Amino acid sequence: MSRCASPIPWATLVDYWAGDLIAAQIDEVDDHLFACGSCASEAARVASVTETMREMLPPAVSRARIESLRAAGTRVRESAFAPGERRQVVFEADVDLLVHRLAGLPLADAQHVSLQIVSESTGQRLVTMDTVPFEREEGAVLIACQRHFASLPADTRFEVAVHAPDRSVTTAAYTIVHQYPP
C-alpha cells in the first residue's frame, strides 16, 4: 500500500467517526477514503478506538443508561450499599457490568452531586468528578463497574457529596472491595 501524498489529519478522522463533521466535510472525507487505501487503513484504526471509547462508561451513570444497556443485552448485576458500608463484591464471569447503588442519600432537593473515588489502602484519589448523574427518586448514585477496572486498586472508597441549593453539603462514603476471579 502506498503512502498518501495528502493524508487526512488524525483529528479530522476522529471528528469523522465521532460524527462531529458537517455534511460537506463528511462527503470530502468519504471521497478521499474511497480512493486512498492508506487513509482508509488509518481511518479503520481511528474507528476502532472511537468505538471502544463509545462502549466505555463513566464511573457514575443514570438509571436510563443502565436500562438501555440491559435492553442491548448487557448482563448487569446490581447491589445496594448504605452510607458507611464496607463490603466485598465479586465480578463473576457471567456478568458484564456491576452496578453499585450508593443509597441513603438526601437527593430530594439536591442541586448537584459530586464524586471522588479513593484507594482505601493508600488514600490516593483515583477519580474526581464535580458533577455526576443521580437518581433523585431512588435516593442513589449508580456506579458502573466494568471488567477493565480490575487494573485499579481493589479497595475503592466512593465519597459522595450532595450539594443543596442552600449551599449545604451532605457527604457519605461507601467502600467496595472488588474481586475479579480468573
- Domain containing residue 132: CATH number: 2.60.40.1930
Q: Give the pLDDT confidence score for residue 147 in this predicted structure.
A: 80
105 inside domain = yes
Q: Please check whether residues 96 and 149 belong to one and the same domain.
A: yes
Domains held by the chain: number = 2
Pair 81, 103 in one domain: yes
* Helices 23-35 & 10-18 angle (0-180, nearest 10): 120
Query: Residue 115: pLDDT above 90?
Result: yes
pLDDT tens-digit readout, 62-71: 999 999 999 9
Catalogue the E-assigned strands of the chain: 60-61, 76-81, 86-90, 97-102, 112-119, 125-129, 141-146, 155-163, 169-179
pLDDT score for 51? 65
Q: What percent of the chain has pLDDT over 70?
A: 95
Residues 6+ apart with CB under 8 A from 125: 116, 117, 118
Average pLDDT on 59-78 reads 93
Q: Are residues 51 and 68 in the same domain?
A: no
Residue 4 placed within a domain: no
Least confident of 51-60, 87-96, 97-106: 51-60
Rounded CA-CA distance 41/135 in Å is: 43
Residues 81, 143, single domain; the answer is yes
Task: Determine the straight-line distance between the first and last CA of the chain, rounded to whole angstroms.
Answer: 41
How far does CA 106 lie from the centroid of its chain? 24
**Domain range enclosing 76:** 60-179
Residues 164 and 91 in one domain: yes
Q: How far apart are CA 71 and CA 68, in angstroms?
A: 5
Domain boundary among 38, 55, 72: 55
Return the pLDDT at 57: 80
Read off the pLDDT of residues 139-181 as tens digits, 9 standing for 90 and up: 999 999 988 777 778 899 999 999 999 999 999 999 999 988 8
Does residue 2 fall inside a structural domain?
no
Global confidence as pTM: 0.71
Q: pLDDT band at 45, cuts 50/70/90?
A: confident
**82 and 170 share one domain:** yes
Torsion of the alpha carbons at 133, 138, 139 and 141, rounded to the nearest 10: -30
